[in-house]
């Protein structure tokens, strides 16, 4: 038992270290701590939707980077689908998630084989070259509109990115 | 003393975690934690020292007809994958990768290659639903559905563990296999595995060897 507690403690400490290690510019730790507690500063990049097989279901991916305090992605809406849900992939099973954390000075990453958006009941089948408009809703930040480009069904910019297993 | 050692080990582990967390952008690099699992470097294919026997699997195809896997694919290069059609990401990615790579083969070899998709969600994947989904990717893909226990049993003989679809908070959760297994036309044994990170380029490079039963 004692061992477990110890390891847990050490990991918690290093989680902090990891954050510090990842953020770049300012060496001023105090300022950084302030920032981490403050307003989130979100940016969305690398969005894509692989061309779906049918008009019943599609997936979407992107990365949210945060240069401020912690936030949460709480929902996604789109005119193209009746429903958009958030999913993680764990142990080869898809699980719907209520929200995804956007860590302070960190990023929330969606990638093939890992976190993904699931679009259900599409109005039409998006084709490669199309753009799908979605709105990302956050707990603290204002909603962000994203135009997601539709790529080939086989598009996978970061194979091997799903580190969850 | 022991305490110290433990802590040091944990720190070390966390240091590696940090590295992989920061290296967000670099493509193709395996996460540190996976290295011990995938020991064959950059190659997508895992060649099995002890090949799998082709499962003795009799199910229903997308035309509603009985399909005997061993009988129908005997002496033919065959790829087998376990997945389900209500899967937005990995299942269509895997099948599309194979579909695109297959089209790069000479016509005669395209005809030889058997691609078999076995559903892990037979309740929702009726022959008709399965047929519609597969046809949208490649008209020659074979889709099999039937009794879940039969499907689970044959997946198990290939080292693939699947659970029946279950309802969680009104949502159906289904599972897909992580691997595509290639069976040799020479021995009918499953001799190569492809994980879900396998890209369309990997398949395009390897399929010409797989159709001959050669080692990719």
Within-domain flag for A113 = yes
* Closest-CA distance of chain B to residue A45, Å: 12
Local confidence band at A146 (pLDDT 50, 70, 90 cut-offs): very high
Q: Calculate mean pLDDT across residues B144-173.
A: 87
Instruction: Tell which residue, B25, B30, B34, has the closest CA to residue B42.
Output: B30
pLDDT for B175-189, tens place per residue?
Answer: 777 799 999 999 999
Q: Span B75-100, mean pLDDT?
A: 94
Q: How many CB atoms lie within 10 A of CB A153?
A: 21
Instruction: Please state the domain extents for chain B.
Output: 43-210
pLDDT in tens, A4-55: 444 444 444 444 444 444 444 444 554 555 555 689 999 999 999 999 999 9
DSSP symbol at B44? S
Listed range (A15-24, A150-159, B134-143, B192-201) with the worst mean pLDDT: A15-24
- CA A132, distance to chain mean position in Å, is 17
The candidate with the shortest Cα–Cα distance to A41, out of A23, A57, A56, is A23
**Per-residue model confidence (pLDDT) at position A126:** 96
ipTM value of the model?
0.71
In a domain, A21, yes or no: yes
Q: Which CATH architecture has domain B43-210?
A: 3-Layer(aba) Sandwich (3.40)
Which of A43, A104, A159, A163 should we substitute to test contact with B (largest number of B Cβ atoms within 10 Å)? A159
- State the nearest Cα–Cα gap between B96 and chain A, in angstroms: 6
Residue A124 lies in a domain: yes
Do B87 and B190 contact (CB within 8 A), yes or no? no
Per-residue pLDDT tens over the stretch A50-89: 999 999 999 999 999 999 999 999 999 999 999 999 998 8
Sign of CA dihedral A52, A118, B156, B145: negative
Query: What is the count of structural domains for chain A?
Result: 2
Q: Are residues A56 and A89 in the same domain?
A: yes
What is the tens place of the pLDDT at every residue in B9-44? 444 444 333 333 333 333 333 333 333 334 455 688
Q: What is the CATH number of the domain that holds A137?
A: 2.60.40.1890
* Residue range A97-113: mean pLDDT, rounded: 94
pLDDT score recorded for residue B107:
96
Same domain flag for A15 and A53: no
Is residue A98 pLDDT above 80, yes or no? yes
Q: B204 CB contacts (<8 Å, ≥6 apart)?
A: B100, B101, B104
Domain of residue A58, residue span:
42-151
- Same-domain status, A13 and A31: yes
Inform me whether the C-beta atom of residue A21 falls under 8 Å from chain B C-beta atoms.
Answer: yes
Q: Residues A23, A52: one domain?
A: no
Contacts of A121 in chain B (CB under 8 A): none
Average pLDDT, chain B: 83
Q: Is residue A102 in a domain?
A: yes
């Amino acid at each position: 038992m004692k061992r477990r507690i110890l390891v847990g403690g050490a990991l918690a400490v290093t989680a902090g270290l990891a954050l510090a290690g990842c953020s770049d510019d300012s060496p001023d730790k105090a300022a950084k701590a302030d920032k981490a507690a403050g307003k989130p500063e979100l940016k969305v990049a690398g969005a894509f939707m692989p061309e779906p097989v049918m008009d019943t279901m599609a997936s979407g991916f992107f990365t949210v980077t945060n240069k401020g305090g912690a936030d949460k992605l709480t929902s996604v809406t789109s005119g193209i689908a009746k429903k958009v849900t958030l999913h993680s992939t764990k142990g080869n099973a898809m699980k719907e998630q209520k929200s995804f954390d956007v860590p302070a000075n960190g990023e929330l990453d969606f990638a093939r084989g890992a976190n993904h958006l699931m679009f259900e009941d599409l109005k039409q089948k998006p084709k490669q070259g199309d753009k799908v408009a979605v709105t990302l809703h956050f707990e603290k930040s204002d909603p962000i509109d994203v135009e997601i480009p539709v790529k080939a069904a086989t598009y996978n910019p970061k194979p091997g990115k799903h580190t969850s297993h | 003393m022991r305490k110290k050692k433990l802590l040091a080990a944990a720190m070390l582990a966390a240091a590696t975690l940090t590295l992989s967390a920061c290296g967000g952008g670099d493509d193709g690099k395996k996460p540190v934690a996976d290295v011990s699992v995938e020991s064959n470097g950059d190659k997508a294919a895992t060649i099995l020292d002890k090949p799998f026997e082709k499962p003795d699997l009799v199910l229903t195809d997308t035309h509603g007809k009985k399909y005997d896997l061993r009988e129908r694919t005997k002496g033919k290069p065959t790829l087998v994958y376990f997945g389900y059609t209500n899967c937005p990401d990995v299942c269509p990615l895997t099948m599309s990768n194979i579909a695109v790579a297959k089209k790069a083969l000479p016509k005669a070899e395209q005809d030889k290659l058997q691609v078999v998709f076995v559903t892990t969600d037979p309740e929702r994947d009726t022959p008709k639903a399965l047929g519609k989904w597969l046809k949208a990717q490649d008209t020659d893909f074979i889709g099999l559905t039937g009794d879940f226990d039969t499907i689970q049993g044959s997946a198990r003989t290939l080292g693939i563990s699947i659970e029946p679809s279950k309802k969680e908070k009104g949502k159906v959760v289904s599972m897909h296999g992580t691997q595509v297994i290639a069976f040799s036309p020479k021995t009918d044994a499953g001799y190569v595995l492809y994980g879900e990170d396998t890209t369309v380029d990997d398949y395009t490079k390897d399929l010409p060897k797989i159709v001959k039963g050669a080692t990719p």
